[in-house]
Amino acid sequence: MAQTLYDKVWQAHVVDQIGDDNLIYIDRHLIHEVTSPQAFAGLNEKNRKVRRPDRTFATMDHSISTRSLALDACGPQNALQLQTLAQNCEEHGIKLYPVGHRKQGIVHVMGPELGLIQPGMTVVCGDSHTATHGAFGALAFGIGTSQVEHVLATQTLKQSKAKSMLVQVNGTLPTGITAKDIILAIIGEIGHGGATGHVIEYAGEAIRALSMEERMTICNMSIEAGAKAGLIAPDETTFAYLQGREFAPSEAHWDAAVASWKALHSDAGAQFDTIVTLQAEDIAPQVTWGTNPGQVIGVNAPVPSPDDFQDPIEQESARKALAYMGLSAGQKLADVAVSHVFIGSCTNSRIEDLRAAASIARQGKVSKSVTAMVVPGSAAVKRQAEAEGLDTIFTEAGFEWRLPGCSMCLGMNDDILTAGDRCASTSNRNFEGRQGRGARTHLVSPAMAVAAALRGHFADVREFQE
């Protein structure tokens, strides 16, 4: 029978059947400081060892400062969490990339960089944006702390199979439109719960044309569509990205690996539970106006009115969102001033994101009324950006240039907004209080974030194209 990519990866990892569920084997386990301490505590209490330390990799990203390398820069509680991770990794023989290490970074940025994620693998992490790694044709999803403990102890996980959704993006992406705009447009189309219970496979000409970094941006936000995971079938782009990376198959094994990866695609005639189709030419630069990522419009569209929605729940949600965001129906986004701009997060902090941001930043200066920062996703991205002189472009334009980490994506470190602040952010979540209590988040692409920084209000990045 014709199989989907998801079927193939799933089937190759089933170890056992438990009732209606399966026990699946986990190839890679990524860990960070926030969701691992209790898991290790549970393991230690039961006197258990980590089953496969060689398949487990750790980094520090959430609770760290991106202004200083000091572990206690964000206070004693964060320091304790970070020290606990270091101690647990030491005791259990797990490779850790701590703050200051040349391979440290946001878990979803540094993992792929090291070649840890390969087509056909199962990948888990106690973090919802583990979906990012699906860009490699891996089945990658976030797990809770008790599941982290289970994977540490057994290298397996009990799971039930999800439904499948095909999101097909046809056509060619217009100039100035990015992967971030594609995924926001998809979520705008299906709603922020639109893929609940599904694993999404992204396909179509516009997806095939994307680089690996752009594919990661797409898969990253599968979670914001409600999906369990998002995948893209591996192809030459994937293989070229992986070749030569530290943990990628060695030269002696490379050809055999690629040959097996080439079978990882949905067969002709494979059945999906749900199919969604978008046309790339229809996508404008996206800006969220509300408090979930599905509340999104093209930059030139008016802010909607609750009456524009049929569903009473959506109407109520729009009403609440407009009140929280301090916006009114019919308003133009070009009239909405921003106080902060954040370029970073596991969605948009890779080198291509920073290049796109710099290409706009070199055209002007950050508005006096805006505080703007660029936070590279990993130490490797930071080094590369500095080698290309991007840091100078940013600082000369008036942006802060930071150390790698999650930073202002969420309020767990020293980058927290205050009530009433309005931020154009390249991150992935915009719920109430995400970047600080009472703060307002608008999700955009890196280029759109810079456009807002320079103008002091939202602007169509296509006006900046040289």
Ligand X SMILES: CC(C)[C@H](C(=O)O)[C@@H](O)C(=O)O
Residues 89-128 that bind ligand X (CB under 6 A): 127-128
Given the complex with ligand SF4, which of 88 and 345 has the nearer CB atom? Answer: 345
409 labelled ligand-binding: yes
- What does the alpha-carbon distance between residue 13 and residue 22 come to, in Å, rounded to a whole number? 9
Which of 345, 372, 369, 370 has the alpha carbon at shortest distance from 358?
Answer: 372
What six digits make up the tokens of 3? 């199989």
Picked from ligand X, ligand SF4, none, the partner binding residue 427 (CB below 5 to 8 A depending on kind) is ligand SF4
What single-letter DSSP state applies at residue 60?
-
Q: Is 233 a binder of ligand X (CB under 6 A)?
A: no
User: Using CB under 6 A, which of 159, 413, 427, 435 touches ligand SF4?
Assistant: 427
Contact mark string toward ligand X, 402..441, x via CB under 6 A: --------x-------------------------------
- What does the alpha-carbon distance between residue 80 and residue 71 come to, in Å, rounded to a whole number? 9
Q: Min. distance of Cβ 135 from ligand X in angstroms?
A: 17
How many other C-beta atoms can be found within 10 angstroms of the C-beta atom of residue 46? 9
CB-closest chain residue to ligand X: 128
- What does the alpha-carbon distance between residue 372 and residue 343 come to, in Å, rounded to a whole number? 8
Given the complex with ligand X, which of 4 and 430 has the nearer CB atom? Answer: 430
Q: Is 129 a binder of ligand X (CB under 6 A)?
A: yes
Phi, psi of 412 (to 5 degrees): -120, 5
Given the complex with ligand X, which of 141 and 458 has the nearer CB atom? Answer: 141
Size of the site for ligand X (CB under 6 A): 8
Residues 58-87 that bind ligand SF4 (CB under 6 A): 61-62
Given the complex with ligand SF4, which of 56 and 347 has the nearer CB atom? Answer: 347
Phi, psi of 175 (to 5 degrees): -60, 140
Phi, psi of 139 (to 5 degrees): -90, 105
74 labelled ligand-binding: no
Let me know: does 137 contact 237? Beta carbons within 8 Å: no
Residues 389-408 that bind ligand SF4 (CB under 6 A): 406
Please give the C-alpha separations between residue 240 and each of 249, 285, 374, in angstroms, as whole numbers: 12, 29, 28
Residues 136-155 that bind ligand X (CB under 6 A): 142
Given the complex with ligand X, which of 128 and 339 has the nearer CB atom? Answer: 128
Name the one residue in this structure whose structure tokens are 């990628």: 248
- What does the alpha-carbon distance between residue 426 and residue 415 come to, in Å, rounded to a whole number? 15
User: Using CB under 6 A, which of 60, 346, 370, 417 touches ligand SF4?
Assistant: 346
Given the complex with ligand SF4, which of 347 and 367 has the nearer CB atom? Answer: 347
Contact mark string toward ligand X, 22..51, x via CB under 6 A: ------------xx----------------
Let me know: does 432 contact 186? Beta carbons within 8 Å: no
Let me know: does 99 contact 82? Beta carbons within 8 Å: yes
Q: Min. distance of Cβ 35 from ligand X in angstroms?
A: 5
Which of 189, 434, 418, 406 has the alpha carbon at shortest distance from 291?
Answer: 434
Given the complex with ligand SF4, which of 127 and 391 has the nearer CB atom? Answer: 127
Q: Residue 45: CB partners within 8 Å, gap ≥ 6?
A: none
Which of 136, 178, 105 has the alpha carbon at shortest distance from 353?
Answer: 178
Picked from ligand X, ligand SF4, none, the partner binding residue 352 (CB below 5 to 8 A depending on kind) is none
Binding positions: 346, 406, 409
Name the site residues for ligand X (rule: CB under 6 A): 34-35, 62, 127-129, 142, 410
Binding positions for [4Fe-4S] cluster: 346, 406, 409
